[in-house]
A and B are shown apart, each in its own frame.
Chain A
Amino acid sequence: MTVLAIKDLNVTFSTEGGQLHALKNVSFDVPERRIVGVVGESGCGKSTLINAILGLLADNGSIDAGSITFEGEDLTRLGPARMQELRGQRISTVFQDPMGALNPVLSVGRQMRNIQYRSGRSRSEKDARSEAMLRQVRIPDAQAALARYPHEFSGGMRQRVAIAMALMMKPALLIADEPTTALDATLEVATIELLRELQQDIACSVLFISHHLGVIAELCDDVVVMYAGEVVERGTTRQVFHTPRHPYARRLLECDPARQSGRTRHLPTIPGEIPDLRQRPPGCVFATRCDQRVDACDKVPPDVAVETGHVARCVLAEAR
């Protein structure tokens, strides 16, 4: 069963320079109990995607077409009151910067109590739950930790507190927005293992946003590769990482520093820049930077199903 199904989602922002088409025909599914990674460089629409799901697009942004189906409800058609009900209860979020995401002047215990405001539990029940949750994310001395303020924790602990808060209401979907980017490498591994463990415990699905390919490969079941507001390739992690079919996905994988054999002074890059999203090229968005472009690239590329579940938006991707 799919928890979240995004179909042909289009989001535009009206800016002074004209309409900015931030997401174009984005489709993918987050199946139950799976971890789906979204990868792409900065500005490819990852944050817009999150905000569109949460119903928190900026005032100048709007969903023009498409649907976001979450547990049978189309989020694009829900009123603000119902959306607010879902947020924090059924859909939860962990942010990149754990210091910024926690209120600096409230104790952790109070913030965790705040999150449960709709649960109808008594104060002591809420606190007991908070404490249990902190213990689950392995915060030492959980009881004392409730009385502490965010600045009294280390970066890794803060992120674990944020994860505890996000999973407190046992959501069906956890959106993790680059949760390990602000952490150092050792903490990153520990946090990922913790996330995986908790995901299995709570049996929720995770939408994991990152630009770190290693983390995605390690953690995710499925991968969605985004470029300039489009899903250029999606499939299982194995499919995308072993047989990437879209030239962008292929180049992105080649650019991963972890894949370099031997020492080099020059890490590979993809020449060129993301096109101006206010004036999208009529054909393939990646055409200007692609080293395999052909004449057909001037037309809108089809979504080619390479294998079951493995789709690439490129004329050169052929079904096997």
Chain B
Amino acid sequence: MFAAVSDLRRTERTRTMMRVLREPLGAFGIALVLLMVGGAVFADLLTSYDPSRISPRDRFQAPSLDHLLGTDHLGRDLFSRVLHGGRIALSVALFATATSLAIGVVLGLVAGYGPRWLDAVMLLLFDSIKSFPTVMLALALVTLFGPSLTAVVIVVILVNVPGYARIIRTQTLALKGSEFVTAAQSMGAGTTRILRHHIMPNVISPLLILASMDIPVVIAIEAGMSFLGLGVRPPTPSWGSILNDGFTAIRDTPWIAVAGGLPIILTTLGFTFLGETMRDLFDPRLKRRT
């Protein structure tokens, strides 16, 4: 019998996905995202070049059948570097976003449901963190810990968590006094139960959409920090560092900058289109009869 419940849920979810695919922008977004994810996952199958092998003889080669996107100033194959850079960009984006989500949801629930003084303290904290410009925050952290992927992830988490927590907090506050929470209480549910089973399911879906729209921002932060030399350390490939390599030689060998910039643009566009289509479909105010 419970198969019935989950069946219904599954079809509901599939239906939503089908609706995203039916929107041209959504389908385009999904195609782009799949392309970039596929490239990152199957990087080793798609190219035989080692992304960090230096080959001085092959420096500054223009795109050809041998090197699909050309080579950089150290003779490294750019196609291979872009694919492997995609692994970094996407895994940082997914990991950092998921972690910020988890932390943001917990902090938001605590701030919204907990005592008032705690709420006030936490809001003050969120607002102070939010008031730092991202680049300044990144610079400060890198000065403290040195440039690394971890620094990138921490910056992203610090930037994202306050926003997520605030959204969850506001909604929790609104639901705190609602009748079904009182009802659950009077039926013997404790605080953790109420938060997990009654409040969280009510507040989580708008946040998921917001987070999917934040992925491009995270990718841009990683690329930006690597571009500035604050993120991934060479020789590990990152779209931002490829872009930086190409930047210095843009007059003579523009393909290097293109190889770094194009994947950033495509992935960002893909996730944005996907996120916006999902938002439009989920937002009841924009909902049309289908």
Q: Does A100 contact B (CB under 8 A)?
A: yes
The stretch that binds A, out of B81-89, B154-162, B186-194, is B186-194
* Residue from A85, A88, A114 in contact with B186 in the complex, judged by beta carbons closer than 8 Å: A88
A118 close to B188 (CB less than 8 A): yes
Query: Min CB distance, B127 to chain A, in Å?
Result: 26
Query: Min CB distance, A141 to chain B, in Å?
Result: 11
* Residue from B8, B182, B188, B193 in contact with A89 in the complex, judged by beta carbons closer than 8 Å: B188
Interface of B is mostly: helix
Measured in the bound complex, the distance between the Cα atoms of B201 and A104 in whole Å is 10
CB contacts (< 8 Å) of A127 on chain B: these are 1-2
CB contacts (< 8 Å) of B184 on chain A: these are 103, 114
Chain B residue nearest in CB terms to A59: B115
Chain A residue nearest in CB terms to B203: A105
CB contacts (< 8 Å) of B2 on chain A: these are 109, 123-124, 127
Query: Min CB distance, B118 to chain A, in Å?
Result: 14
Q: Does A6 contact B (CB under 8 A)?
A: no
CB contacts (< 8 Å) of B8 on chain A: these are 147
Measured in the bound complex, the distance between the Cα atoms of B180 and A93 in whole Å is 12
Cβ proximity bits A125-148 to B, threshold 8 Å, 1 near / 0 not = 001100100000000000110110
* Residue from B185, B193, B202 in contact with A104 in the complex, judged by beta carbons closer than 8 Å: B202
Query: Min CB distance, A127 to chain B, in Å?
Result: 6
Measured in the bound complex, the distance between the Cα atoms of B215 and A138 in whole Å is 49
Q: Does B197 contact A (CB under 8 A)?
A: yes
B5 close to A56 (CB less than 8 A): no
Query: Min CB distance, B124 to chain A, in Å?
Result: 23
The contact size tier of chain A is 35 or more
A100 close to B179 (CB less than 8 A): yes
Q: Does B198 contact A (CB under 8 A)?
A: yes
CB contacts (< 8 Å) of A101 on chain B: these are 179-180, 182-183
Interface hub of B180, B182, B186, B190 (most chain A Cβ within 10 A): B186
When A and B form their complex, what is the total count of cross-chain residue pairs whose Cβ atoms lie within 8 Å?
83
Chain B residue nearest in CB terms to A147: B5
Chain B interfacial residues counted at CB < 8 A: 22
Q: Does A165 contact B (CB under 8 A)?
A: yes
Q: Does B286 contact A (CB under 8 A)?
A: no
Which residues in chain A, 140-193, are within 8 Å of chain B measured between CB atoms?
A: 143-144, 146-147, 162, 165-166, 175
A106 close to B193 (CB less than 8 A): no
Q: Does A260 contact B (CB under 8 A)?
A: no
CB contacts (< 8 Å) of B201 on chain A: these are 103, 105-106
Q: Does A224 contact B (CB under 8 A)?
A: no
Q: Does B48 contact A (CB under 8 A)?
A: no
CB contacts (< 8 Å) of B189 on chain A: these are 84, 88, 114
B197 close to A107 (CB less than 8 A): no
Q: Does A97 contact B (CB under 8 A)?
A: yes
Give the 6 A-B CB pairs with smallest separation, nearest first.
Answer: A88-B188, A100-B179, A88-B187, A87-B188, A101-B183, A93-B186
Q: 9 extra interchain contacts, Cβ-Cβ under 8 A, other than A124-B1, A147-B5?
A: A88-B188, A89-B188, A95-B179, A101-B182, A104-B180, A107-B5, A144-B4, A147-B4, A166-B187
